[in-house]
Structure 1
Amino acid sequence: MRKDSGRHVGAIAARLSLRAPQQRSLEILDRIMEILPPGKESDLAAALAAIRREFPQVSDFGRGFPSLCFALATGVGKTRLMGAFVAYLHLAHGIRNFLVLAPSLTIHDKLIADFTPGTPKYVLPGIQQFSIEPPVIVTGENFAYRVGGARTRHAITVNIFNVAKINSEMRDGRSLRIRSLREEIGESYFDHLAGLDDLVLIMDEAHRYRGSAGVRAIEALKPTLGLELTATPFVEAPRRPVPFANVVFDYPLGRALADGFVKEPAVVTRENFHPAGKSPGEIEEIKLHDAIRLHEGVRVELEVYARENRVGAVKPIVLVIARDTSHAAELMRLIRSPRFFDGRFTNKVIQVDSSVREDEAVERLLKVERADEPTEIVIHVNMLREGWDVNNLYTIVPLRAGNSNTLVWQAIGRGLRLPYGGRTGIAAIDRLNIVAHDRFQEIVEEARRPDSPARLEQLVLAESQLQQSTVTVVSRPRLVDWLGIEPEGSASNAPGGFHEEQASFGDDKRAIARLTYETIMGEATVGFGAPLPSLGHLMRPEIRDALISAVASGYRSAGREGPADELAAVVTDTTEFVLQETIEIPLILAVPKNEAKWGYRSFRLDLSRFSYEVPTENLWATHLRTGQVDRIGAAAAVIEERLDNCIVDALVAFDDVAYEEHAELLYDLAGQVSRHLLSRMSERDARKVLWLHRHEIARAVHAQMQEHLWQEAHADDDVVVTRGYTALRERTFSKAMDEPVLDFRLPPADKGNMARHLFGGFARCLYAEEKFHSDAERMLAVVLDREALKWFRPAKGQFQLRYRAEGQELDYQPDFVAETGTRTLMIEVKASDRMDDRIVLAKRNAAVHWCRHATGHALKHGGKPWGYLLIPHDAIAENVTIEALARCHMEGRVLRVV
């Protein structure tokens, strides 16, 4: 049974894409089920003793049945873990009955949705057994008829119940509805549950159930096992919080931060800020102003990220925590007044306090997560309850004194979730801003102690930053402006975008121009029946006639009419614009005929830092950070007989290491590690070190393997060009509102801060605005604008071009694309000391092969050949020519990457 259940753990973790702490929790549950096999009438004291032998930190179940707590930080994924628990217990141990307790109606309703197939956050996706026969969801509203219908041989039942409902029905000892006889099931709902011999109780937000009358009643159900989940595993007490005594796995906020599963909380204060001489009201207003400036910067960064990555828009919100309802009303009046940011937030602020029921308040708060909902500021009064777990809270302004650690972590916890499921690498998007006041700062300082659950980053705002607003600039191809095509959506207070004065067509002809452009680019419902191999085909009479016919048909289907000769003229003019203002980038799909040629070269490991102490009995336990603390007895038994196998097994877990292809190298490297350890300690001690540190040793070896990776791109791929050209994409930039668009011919004063500046004034660029990462790129733009027929910097996703590095397939977008009279060039600018960098060479190999395929397609259809230039930064000057750069830096061969 043990081997089989372990297999289920791996399969469930893979199918549900569990994060490391979720998978570790599942592994611990697997061990618990081995220690405590399912059974209702087990001896509670004996069960506790058995658990303590493996998990000595558990001193008390805290219930009248075996119950263990998994303490996972907010944002790590407790609800998904519930689904994993249910799947494992059913598949590995045949358990069919579960009771999930929710602390509030809002969470109750969310859990029902999450356990329902087809919903956005369904917790059991990809589990084949549940695709065929999904769980039967039974609630306090439908139990009378759902329980009777769930009595099939294989179906599992997930009962989802709200503890508050039990509490209310317990009052004054009145007969409970769940204890009343139900003819539909032949007994009461309560008796039905109590009679189950495999009932597992799952408690969401377990800290809400300690001492609850409803939970004491639940104990009469005598479940076979209780599984508790919470981010705050302690109970508030007058003197200090009392930690749970049944925590079997603790994954605190500090570890979630270090592993990148949540936002990084940052305490925000002003540079050189002194509260002396300022009234409380003045200080509050300063903090609110600072919070809004932070908020607007985050909003721009989110908009840029969404546009560049073509993902859903995220609207950030600000949470203001007021002292009481009167204070909240004062803040509402301030934020709605014309003097607060010129009244921009008058209709974008809501107040949620005790004047409405908690569940109604949380339901209202959940709506602010939607990008199309206008609220950007929420004023809240002491209602930071679980259930409001939105992913777009970015700024918290606590204007009331925190009086408990729970309140502090509830406030921070509400904003920890990441909107895109992981960190983006953009500081503003990955950070949670906490605008601190005096009393809240005291608690934050306490949280920054070395033994705190989280170490908070500090963010100090300079006065210049406070006075600077950031805006989004949407840079569109000049072609679409000239055609008079308006953007689908408008960017926030941004320059760029559609400029009506640039349009070549009036209102009456813009619809024809837009339909013509969309038909050419294959984005309309009408077209030529198949993609054209090149834009040059548009000049053929039969294609031109087909285009005019397709546009006329689409124009009429939209309920419009116009003179045929006028429509034909607009189509012809639009076609000429497209030919003049587009560089043809084919969409290339390369299908390898044979397996890719790549691998790892033999090498000697650098073992100078492989220095490990032999663990003692106690040290062994403290090194395992997963909560599985008593493993020393099992160490000698579970390690492979051959020392090398321990390292090899850990290495083949990496996606880019295949045992069949790399076995000889893997055993060579593992042998080097084993011999290194055996030269310093006994074989018995080496086994302990390898078992304890095998994963980190494998990571260190794998990192060195990457330095000896070689690869050759395919020379004989089957190449399919699915389109001869693609539409140019919008780009999105951010810039300071007051900073003008700079002339690209002139270097800025702060060349070292090039990426912040937006440049314009181009004559031959296909976009009106551009940004550069270095002054060398700016100078190359000067050369291209002088000599190329047309050029641009491609947006993310413009090329379907991938390269291999670090064992992964990654996207590559070159720095420039330029068309001259004789060829089309893909250009990359790199620092001169990085020209032999392994990743730079990998990108070059991919680009050279892409250019070969693009050249073959272009020459076949009357186009220009492609070439790839890899140019060192110090080779670029304004007096060089494109031809000179091409002669010196054209890449025509694929090099082996070592």
Structure 2
Amino acid sequence: MTANHINKSRILNAITGRLSLRKPQEQALKALAKAIEAAPDILSPTQDVPALLRTLSAEFPKLSDFERDFPSLCFALATGVGKTRLMGAFISYLHIAYGINNFFVLAPNLTIYNKLISDFTPNTPKYVFTGIAEFSAYPPEIITGDNYEERGRNLGLLSPVTINIFNIAKIVSEVRGGKAPKIKRLSEYLGDSYFSYLSELDDLVLLMDESHRYRASAGMRAINELQPRLGLELTATPFTESNKGPVQFENVIVDYPLACAMDDGFVKEPAVVTQRNFDPKQYSLEQLEQVKLEDGVRLHEATKLELFTYARQHSVKLVKPFMLVIARDTTHAAQLLELIESDEFFSGRYRGKAIQVDSSRSGADEEQMILRLLSVESVDEPTEIVIHVNMLKEGWDVTNLYTIVPLRAANARTLIEQSIGRGLRLPYGKRTGVDAVDRLNIVAHDRFQEIVNEANNPSNPLRMRQVILEKDYDEQPKDSVAVISKLEALVSGQSLQSATGYKYQIGSDKEREKPIFSGVAEKEAAMTALRVLQSYQNKPSVAPTSKALLNEEIQQQAYKAVSEHLSNKQQSLLEDEEKIDLHELITKTTQLVIDQTIDIPRIMVVPSGDVTYGYTPFLLDMGNLNLQPSNRDLIIRSLQTDEQVSLSSPMNHKYPRLEDYIVEHLVDYDDISYDEHAELIYDLAAQAVNYFRDAREYSEDELHNIFYGFGKRIADTIHAQMAEHYWEKASSYEVTVTAGFIPLKEAAYTTADKELHNVRTTIQDKSKIKKMLFGGFKRCLYDVQKFDSDTERTFALILEREAMKWFKPVSGQFQIFYKDGVNHREYQPDFVAELNDKVIMVEIKARGDLSDTVVLAKAETAKKWCNNASEYLGKHGGKPWLYWLIPHDEVLENRDLQGFVSAV
């Protein structure tokens, strides 16, 4: 391997890492590198295009024609994978590895043109070169179809790399009088036309976004006239339509279809929706549309709450979903808009929240429509329903489309490909594991089976789930509620936020605690003091527990920070500040932190010294594998006579021992060492062999056939079971505490009940408890809690009576992880409570589940965490932690805490 090859490989890996390329993007970049390595002359001004085609066809089986006058390679990547970022990777690699300085990026329409300019402009949200050090000081110079006359005179002055971004219309359009497009006219600054200047560059590389749009004769002719060294085409649809059907591209070197993107989780999972036992023949057209619209809104509102809850629970950006309604024509669209904004439609909730997007708009109305459409992803923009006829084409890339209601007649394939493609992008860049957050709904009561059949067509890249809506007219609309800790609520004067804006009543006037701080300046000062004090959580050497915040030095630092913060505020706050006793305010805030905090250290346990690992021997379970010998006979069919004969193909034994077919795949796993685990893996392989020998009376040739063909599948099964018997030991473990006390995270709950129930109220219908929110707490560190069972509510009553303070942890509060097979999962205990002499972490389980392996794995991990927390807090005057696993049938309201005994 040459030093030059190693250097190119390092550049390739560096760009992949810096741009965080996904698997298909990395695959495409490596394919480009492979093509240039196989045919270096592809970047040379003296190209032999036919010779290059012969060379590259041998490397890429699908490549049979460049389809241009110059070498052009197509990368067919599914919608939502990230083609613009891939362009950034292409440009970075070609410049850094091969010194290419001139690029021409072509857009098929104005929408994509504007999007590309934004994404190639530094300091924008989706800047494609973020992380590329070579472009940090001198980012590429961006020349566009709007500024090339002005900027063209300064080429190369600001950066060695120039990226031209043009809309295809700027090149192929004709003007009145038969004149050439402006880009082809003489420029006094260049002494030639800008188009000619570009075509004469020795290192121009052309990148074509949505390249299936440039196959018309005018577009092809204009692109050929540019005479670039290399063309790179990107599209999600590598074919053009003709009277005879789709015509596939002949220059594809990477094909990553939508089915692969769905399997790898890069796009939403599309699902077709209908009502159970729905018969569209019972409805008129108007009634059917009404039902579909109303069900679409039901789904939309449920999705909105799920997204609100997910964002709060995982501390990520809030996503506002919207619903797309596909109308028959502009008149129909206007009628739908009038209906949706009327008082009769969901009590007028969507007045001002819908827009009509079609060609009927003009002037100021059109500008307003476009502005709202481009801003539909913003949580501050009110639009939740978009009604369109046929204007949403490629380039309208949004991540928050979750519900589609098609009301226009179209065949199922067109409906799937054109409409669904606009909604597949994921708001968080990857699937979350939460069904409602990862799913795109298509409401199609009248077309349900037709769409299902089309989606199941082997030639269709989509596979769609089916969602059945149950009629439930009595159920109240759901809501999602974000609840901050009681500490935050006492300081800020606020407690919870509803996704629907509903005002929940937390207790009666007598029960509600009066605000600790009053006035804008005092609340702002208190919140600043709280943030300063909480920042000491990450300084355990200075503040090992919350009580250490009373230290005089910390109090002085807090006083200084609050004073500086208020001094930078407006004059009215300064005037109010004079009335505030900051020393008293900070002392009061500090005491609140101590009173409303259970010291939860952030603990890291890292193996140190010699680390050994291995697997405990076990009996293999092969019951789920039902493998048959493959038929290896060859079929020979004459193209002239249609006669068909078969040729028997005997099995050539690759290995003398059947076990070797499995072991060769097992040793490919990073966590299996042949030298250390040979005895175990051969034992497991022997168990697999004996299973198939005993299962049926296979001949030796048939057994070799099975293990040769399915060796990797058998190895995968064995490896998955090995993970359940994995052990790891270190000569010692180093326990590091990175935070002495962690503030409580915000909780988010979904509810179908607009009432906050007092925790002491007996619930008659216990099946509804999971949908209810509870308040009325005195000792809970949140004003509102949600319970999974009445047993949990009962245990909360015991804690209210006997604990000093308690709460139900939310995801991410402890970051305790346990091993579940091959996965590491987060453990979230049911309760944490501080008593007079200890802190308890509690899990309540049905008695029959106490011996469950997952329950025991959680308990073992939690006990280790408690032991480490106790050791740390014991050194700093804190209380020990204990883990209690309690059978559910022992939780009775008349029990006291001292009477419980942990089951482990």
- Check conservation: 1:301, 1:428, Cα contact below 8 A: yes
Alignment partner, residue 504 of structure 1 = 514
Q: 1:81 to 1:554 in 2, by over 3 A?
A: closer
Q: 1:718 to 1:727 in 2, by over 3 A?
A: closer
Q: Provide the rounded CA distance (Å) in 2 between the counterparts of 1:669 and 1:251.
A: 39
Quote how far apart the aligned CAs of 1:383 are: 0.7
Quote how far apart the aligned CAs of 1:295 are: 1.0
Asked if 1:736 corresponds to 2:752, the answer is yes
Spell out, residue by residue over 1:172-216, the C-alpha distance to the aligned partner (whole angstroms, 9 max, x if none): 652333223435445432223322344332211122112151332
- Check conservation: 1:323, 1:399, Cα contact below 8 A: yes
Q: Alignment partner for residue 727 of structure 2, among 707, 710, 717? A: 710
Q: 1:741 to 1:235 in 2, by over 3 A?
A: farther
Supply the AA of the counterpart residue of 2:834. E
Asked if 1:798 corresponds to 2:807, the answer is no
Q: 1:274 to 1:554 in 2, by over 3 A?
A: same
Q: Provide the rounded CA distance (Å) in 1 between the counterparts of 2:343 and 2:730.
A: 62
Spell out, residue by residue over 1:628-661, the C-alpha distance to the aligned partner (whole angstroms, 9 max, x if none): xxxxxxxx9xxxxx99997478423xxxx4x8xx
Q: Provide the rounded CA distance (Å) in 2 between the counterparts of 1:647 and 1:889.
A: 42
Quote how far apart the aligned CAs of 1:301 are: 0.9
Quote how far apart the aligned CAs of 1:837 are: 6.4
Q: 1:696 to 1:419 in 2, by over 3 A?
A: farther
Pick which of 216-225 and 610-619 moved more. Answer: 610-619
Asked if 1:372 corresponds to 2:377, the answer is no
Give the alignment of 1:165-564 within 5 angstroms: 165-169=170-174, 173-238=178-243, 240-356=245-361, 364-402=372-410, 405-406=413-414, 408-436=416-444, 438=446, 442-443=450-451, 445-464=453-472, 468-481=476-489, 485-486=493-494, 491-494=499-502, 496=504, 501=509, 502-505=512-515, 508=518, 512=522, 515-516=525-526, 519-520=529-530, 522=532, 532-536=543-547, 558-561=573-576
Give the alignment of 1:124-143 within 5 angstroms: 124-131=129-136, 133-143=138-148
Supply the AA of the counterpart residue of 1:728. L
Quote how far apart the aligned CAs of 1:470 are: 0.9
Spell out, residue by residue over 1:41-98, the C-alpha distance to the aligned partner (whole angstroms, 9 max, x if none): 6555554454444544444433333333322221111112222222333444444433
Q: Alignment partner for residue 602 of structure 2, among 582, 588, 594? A: 588
Q: Provide the rounded CA distance (Å) in 1 between the counterparts of 2:734 and 2:189.
A: 66
Spell out, residue by residue over 1:356-405, the C-alpha distance to the aligned partner (whole angstroms, 9 max, x if none): 58999666422111111111111112112111111111111111122584
TM-score (norm 1): 0.82
| SS of alignment partner, residue 173 of structure 2 | helix
Supply the AA of the counterpart residue of 1:734. T
Alignment partner, residue 31 of structure 2 = 28
Q: Provide the rounded CA distance (Å) in 2 between the counterparts of 1:717 and 1:119.
A: 43
Supply the AA of the counterpart residue of 2:782. Y
| SS of alignment partner, residue 467 of structure 2 | strand
- Check conservation: 1:648, 1:667, Cα contact below 8 A: no
Quote how far apart the aligned CAs of 1:755 are: 3.9
- Check conservation: 1:484, 1:503, Cα contact below 8 A: no
- For these two proteins, the number of residue pairs brought into alignment is 856
Asked if 1:816 corresponds to 2:831, the answer is yes
Q: 1:243 to 1:562 in 2, by over 3 A?
A: closer
- Check conservation: 1:484, 1:504, Cα contact below 8 A: no
Quote how far apart the aligned CAs of 1:819 are: 1.3
| SS of alignment partner, residue 608 of structure 2 | coil
Q: 1:71 to 1:308 in 2, by over 3 A?
A: same
- Check conservation: 2:480, 2:498, Cα contact below 8 A: no
Quote how far apart the aligned CAs of 1:266 are: 1.2
Give the alignment of 1:6-45 within 5 angstroms: 6=9, 8-37=11-40, 38=42, 39=44, 42=47, 44-45=49-50
- Check conservation: 2:537, 2:742, Cα contact below 8 A: no
Q: 1:773 to 1:322 in 2, by over 3 A?
A: same
Q: Provide the rounded CA distance (Å) in 2 between the counterparts of 1:673 and 1:22.
A: 38
Alignment partner, residue 743 of structure 2 = 727
| SS of alignment partner, residue 228 of structure 1 | strand
Q: 1:45 to 1:97 in 2, by over 3 A?
A: same
Quote how far apart the aligned CAs of 1:427 are: 1.3
Alignment partner, residue 644 of structure 2 = none
| SS of alignment partner, residue 482 of structure 2 | strand
Asked if 1:664 corresponds to 2:682, the answer is no
Alignment partner, residue 625 of structure 1 = none
Alignment partner, residue 828 of structure 1 = 843
Supply the AA of the counterpart residue of 1:81. L
Pick which of 348-357 and 531-540 moved more. Answer: 531-540
Q: Alignment partner for residue 79 of structure 1, among 68, 84, 108? A: 84
Pick which of 346-355 and 232-241 moved more. Answer: 232-241
Q: 1:452 to 1:239 in 2, by over 3 A?
A: same
Q: Provide the rounded CA distance (Å) in 2 between the counterparts of 1:152 and 1:857.
A: 60
The answer for unaligned runs of 5 or more in structure 1 is: 620-635, 637-641, 891-898
TM-score (norm 2): 0.81
Q: Provide the rounded CA distance (Å) in 1 between the counterparts of 2:580 and 2:397.
A: 59
Quote how far apart the aligned CAs of 1:743 are: 4.8
Spell out, residue by residue over 1:223-273, the C-alpha distance to the aligned partner (whole angstroms, 9 max, x if none): 333222222223233564433343333322222222211111111112233
Supply the AA of the counterpart residue of 2:395. G
- Check conservation: 2:779, 2:800, Cα contact below 8 A: yes
CA-atom RMSD in angstroms: 4.6
Supply the AA of the counterpart residue of 1:793. K
Q: Provide the rounded CA distance (Å) in 2 between the counterparts of 1:644 and 1:145.
A: 67
- Check conservation: 2:517, 2:523, Cα contact below 8 A: no
Alignment partner, residue 626 of structure 1 = none
Q: Provide the rounded CA distance (Å) in 2 between the counterparts of 1:707 and 1:442.
A: 44
Spell out, residue by residue over 1:270-296, the C-alpha distance to the aligned partner (whole angstroms, 9 max, x if none): 223333353322221221111111111
Q: Provide the rounded CA distance (Å) in 2 between the counterparts of 1:245 and 1:689.
A: 38
Q: Provide the rounded CA distance (Å) in 2 between the counterparts of 1:643 and 1:91.
A: 44
Q: Provide the rounded CA distance (Å) in 1 between the counterparts of 2:705 and 2:34.
A: 23
- Check conservation: 1:474, 1:733, Cα contact below 8 A: yes
Quote how far apart the aligned CAs of 1:460 are: 1.3
Quote how far apart the aligned CAs of 1:813 are: 3.5
Alignment partner, residue 68 of structure 2 = 63
Asked if 1:161 corresponds to 2:173, the answer is no
Supply the AA of the counterpart residue of 2:444. A
Q: 1:545 to 1:91 in 2, by over 3 A?
A: closer
Supply the AA of the counterpart residue of 1:651. Y
Q: Provide the rounded CA distance (Å) in 1 between the counterparts of 2:866 and 2:194.
A: 70
Q: 1:576 to 1:33 in 2, by over 3 A?
A: closer
- Check conservation: 1:762, 1:785, Cα contact below 8 A: yes
Quote how far apart the aligned CAs of 1:118 are: 3.3
Pick which of 320-329 and 441-450 moved more. Answer: 441-450
| SS of alignment partner, residue 334 of structure 1 | helix
Pick which of 115-124 and 767-776 moved more. Answer: 767-776
- Check conservation: 1:290, 1:466, Cα contact below 8 A: no
- Check conservation: 1:512, 1:571, Cα contact below 8 A: no
Quote how far apart the aligned CAs of 1:334 are: 1.1
Spell out, residue by residue over 1:5-57, the C-alpha distance to the aligned partner (whole angstroms, 9 max, x if none): 55544443333222222222233333333444314565555544544445444
Quote how far apart the aligned CAs of 1:826 are: 1.8
Q: 1:33 to 1:492 in 2, by over 3 A?
A: same
Spell out, residue by residue over 1:341-360, the C-alpha distance to the aligned partner (whole angstroms, 9 max, x if none): 22121111111111358999
Pick which of 528-537 and 203-212 moved more. Answer: 528-537
| SS of alignment partner, residue 419 of structure 1 | coil
Pick which of 224-233 and 566-575 moved more. Answer: 566-575
Identity of aligned residues (%): 44
